[in-house]
Structure 1
């Protein structure tokens, strides 16, 4: 059975500052938990692989459900300390890619060619390319083989809802 790939940031600080940033915790845990409740497996990837920092601002918005998922050995290991690197991902294993948010993504998602290639491959297999909040930065520069942006023309008339890419 195919899985969902969750993309997380490796950025620890806002560019040019000493201010900490990183993954918005709930935007990864809540999504992963809902998928696992219905039997869908997830993997975690980040642009560099390995360690994923948490945006400290996100911690004041956690609830009991987020904390319980955060504290699981699986999440602590696979989502925060040993994420896959893009070179370790086979797009054929996934039916969706989900770009989690957090302010750090603004620096490492938009220009990551390997993640763009993975997302495009999943899309070309009739898969889903999705994001939440700042995670949309990962969708901005994905282009098809004709050099057209994947998200071009995907906004609905009310500009608040996005169609399936």
Structure 2
């Protein structure tokens, strides 16, 4: 079984056509799994709906607690891209033994349809969560990165490996 924890981020944002603002309503994950014809054994739980720029260490401790408590050895977190590496670092430094934890997100909300990278990132993250060794990883743009060897390039909008 793959444990999936929703934490928010652009992935799950909606667009208010009147105000032009992005906001949270509900996660899109269930409909994404249906649309993708996912047959994996998953357990989906929403922990919070937070923009990662507003995420605190208290929020991260909730994520850590749930990762430790999960019976699953394979965990996927949907997360905002701005602070995804900070959360990956927090989880790795706090230690979650014998579990594979993959963080993924989207640069464009899933609600924006075919222009969103969310669907692709979710599929990639599910695959990597099943095959990677225990540890903490960031999965974006079809690639996986070790938690301590990745950064978001704010000029290109892509995640990249660092040495």
Tell me the TM-score normalised to structure 1 length: 0.35
Structure with a larger share of its residues in strand: 2
